[in-house]
Amino acid sequence: MKRKCNIVVLVLLMALGAEAQQYKIGLIDLMLLKRQKLSAITLASELGANGLEVDMGGLGNRPTFDSKLAVDSVREQFMAKAKEMNIELFSLAMTGYYAQSFCNRTEYRKSIEDCISTMKKMKIGVAFLPLGVQCDLKKNPEIRDSVVARLKVAGKMAEEAGVIIGIETALTAKEEVKLLKEINSPAIQIYFNFSDPLKEGRDLYKELKILGKKRICMIHASNKDSVWLEKDPQIDMRKVKKVLDKMKWSGWLVIERSRDATQPTNVKWNYGANTAFLKSVFQTGKDK
């Protein structure tokens, strides 16, 4: 009961912190091509973002992440730089699990423990855990029991620490609701990605409504690489805002992709444009 109360308190604090600014716009150090580099914080500030998601580093066949943040002096530099640049470090990402198997690895607890430990030291409330290719529950339904069992363990660890782990799956919103009920932990929520329903031809707006306010911890507010968000015919961003407003959802909109396919490696050009557009829609309500 005490652990669940800690999660409830965290969710309330996150909501209170977002009152003055209901939506915050975040970038990702990995996608800025600056994985675990201090310069990612400076760049996020230059591009006008409110915060930065920092990656935990590579995983490979190691029992845990190759994380520079495990070093006290390095971690303190990140926190100091973020304070200096007025950039919030709002999430840690375990992207090593895109390629590695969370559901089949013999050792997975150590990586989760290390991520949560780093979150506590950096005062970060949410971590991102993609289930990845090998743990795709849509293509491999036979691994569901393993995924649920391990997320129950991760959920208990997160509850004890008073943090949240946001997962990304290939399931529909209705299926994700069922999955969360099976896991039965307030510390495991959905890190929603606009591109997931869009690439399957599902209704993005309906999926948000089905999941609802309390199941979505953060949102990857971007689509596949093709065009900038403001030019994307698949997303009506103002309609997204209306849906989220009606849901009374508050939190981070994190730009992952939506790079112009003609210049995908032009980081400042792509992420600067997408950041400006999201801010114009969600923070001022007017196009720049």
CA–chain centroid gap for 88, Å, is 14
Q: Give 145-154's long-range contacts (Cβ < 8 A, gap of 24+).
A: 146/103, 146/104, 147/102, 147/103, 148/179, 148/182, 148/183, 150/102, 150/103, 150/108, 151/183, 151/185, 151/188, 152/183, 152/184, 152/185, 153/109, 153/112, 154/112, 154/129, 154/187, 154/188
pLDDT at 8: 52
Please check whether residue 118 is in contact with residue 56, taking contact to mean a CB–CB distance below 8 angstroms.
Answer: yes
Looking at residue 167, the DSSP 8-state letter turns out to be E
Please check whether residue 52 is in contact with residue 90, taking contact to mean a CB–CB distance below 8 angstroms.
Answer: yes
**Which amino acid, one-letter code, is at 185?**
S
DSSP characters for 85-97?
Answer: HT-EEEEEE-GGG
**CA 196 – CA 255 distance, rounded (Å):** 14
- Round the CA-based radius of gyration of the chain to a whole number and report it: 18
**CA 97 – CA 79 distance, rounded (Å):** 25
Tokens 């969710």 found at:
11
* Local structure of 235: helix, strand or coil: coil
Residue 121 belongs to a domain with what CATH number? Answer: 3.20.20.150
CA–chain centroid gap for 18, Å, is 16
Domain of residue 141: give its range: 2-284
pLDDT at 288: 37
**CA 36 – CA 54 distance, rounded (Å):** 6
* Local structure of 66: helix, strand or coil: coil
pLDDT at 5: 56
**How many structural domains does the chain have?**
1
Q: Is the pTM of this model over 0.85?
A: yes
Nearest CA to 125 out of 253, 11, 216 is that of 11
CA–chain centroid gap for 71, Å, is 23
Please check whether residue 92 is in contact with residue 124, taking contact to mean a CB–CB distance below 8 angstroms.
Answer: yes
* Local structure of 223: helix, strand or coil: coil
User: What tens-digit pLDDT sequence spans the chain (288 residues)?
Assistant: 555 555 554 555 554 444 445 999 999 999 999 999 999 999 999 999 999 999 999 998 899 999 999 999 999 999 999 999 999 999 999 999 998 999 988 899 999 999 999 999 999 999 999 998 889 999 999 999 999 999 999 999 999 999 999 999 999 999 999 999 999 999 999 999 999 999 999 999 999 999 999 999 999 999 999 999 999 999 999 999 999 999 999 999 999 999 999 999 999 999 999 999 999 999 985 433
Strand (E) or helix (H) holding 269: helix 267-279
